[in-house]
Amino acid sequence: MKPESAEPGDATEALVLRRISYGETDLVLQLATRRLGRIACFARAAKRSRRRFPSGFPSFALLEIHVGPPGRGEALRPILDAVVVRPHLRLPRDLPCYAAAGLLVEVAREAFPEEQPEPRAFDALADALHRLDAGPFAWGELLAAELRLLAPLGLVPRLGSCLSCDAPVPPRRAACFDVARGGVICRRCGGADRTLDGAAREQMLAALAPVGELEPPPPGPDADPRPLHDAHRVMVAFLEHHLGRRFRSARLLEQVAASR
């Protein structure tokens, strides 16, 4: 049962992007929220209060929170209460899915604008974490999740036509990809040093298409994971270049993939 907030506040669904201990019982939290965008909050006595925070702030869980108004100066917004709506208990027991969830959260932490609502991006992140919790892990599903997260933020690479001459890439045809420029470059325009497999590129385009335009592949294990794994490496290189940081969860995921 949801605890009653001690005072009025903004209610919103939220996902934890970063959690920092402050003193013995308090937490500083960076959250992706559906109604308020990416916000930083202060949860007083979060490690001790079971009335206001009955389940705490577990990683990857979908929360419903009430937050108070911003304080004076640089004071953080207080979290008045929080409950877990969807806990995602399986994720910590599945290392590939856990690493993939960590990567999506790292990307969201860099890509979500501060205090600017992006409900479609939030819903894409929440849905991706829910799918990862259900398993099994698949490179195609992770690629689709990344693209659906980035699309509402205007951060998707160009996959269907050449960035230089606008020539469309034939269906299921492999294409050169320029990480720095953020899209495919045809060979007549000089190409690029990375290549996207044709079938993997089509699967990425299907993930971005409006419902009903392209039929996405059914969820589940990849028939041949190698082209999709290679496409994911290209995607990570693109993200790291354009968001300006290396993602530790991507390294963990590569280690896990190498051991499978």
pLDDT value of residue 112: 97
Residues 19 and 74 in one domain: yes
Query: What's the pLDDT at 26?
Result: 92
Query: Is residue 1 in a domain?
Result: no
- CATH assignment of the domain containing 252: 1.20.1440.120
Q: Locate tokens 């190498």: which residue? A: 258
On whether both 64 and 106 belong to a single domain, the answer is no
Residue 2 located in a structural domain: no
pLDDT at 244: 96
If asked whether residues 136 and 26 sit together in one domain, one would say no
CATH code of the domain covering residue 34: 2.40.50.140
Spatial distance between the Cα atoms of 154 and 151, rounded to a whole number of angstroms? 5
Classify residue 5: in a domain, yes or no.
no
> Looking at the structure, do residues 50 and 133 belong to the same domain, yes or no?
no
Out of 86, 120, 137, a domain closes at: 86
Domain residues for the domain of 59 are: 10-86
- pLDDT at 8 (0 to 100): 52
Same domain, 76 and 107: no
Domain boundary among 69, 86, 103: 86
Is residue 3 one of the residues assigned to a domain?
no
Is residue 65 within 8 A of residue 16, CB to CB? The reply is: no
Q: How does pLDDT run across 38-74, given as a tens digit for each residue?
A: 999 999 998 888 888 988 899 999 999 999 987 776 6
Could you tell me if 105 and 222 lie in one domain? yes
Q: How many Å separate Cα 138 from the centre of its chain?
A: 15
Q: Could you give the number of structural domains in the chain?
A: 2
**HEC profile of 104-163:** HHHHHHHHCCECCCCHHHHHHHHHHHHHHHHCCCCHHHHHHHHHHHHHHHCCCCECCECC
Regions of the chain short of the pLDDT cut 50: 1-7, 211-220, 222
Q: Are residues 124 and 185 in the same domain?
A: yes
Is residue 162 domain-shared with residue 120, that is, in the same domain?
yes
Contacts of 228 (CB under 8 A, 6+ apart): 138, 139, 140, 143, 197, 200, 203, 222
> Would 4 be classed as within a structural domain?
no
Any domain includes 165: yes
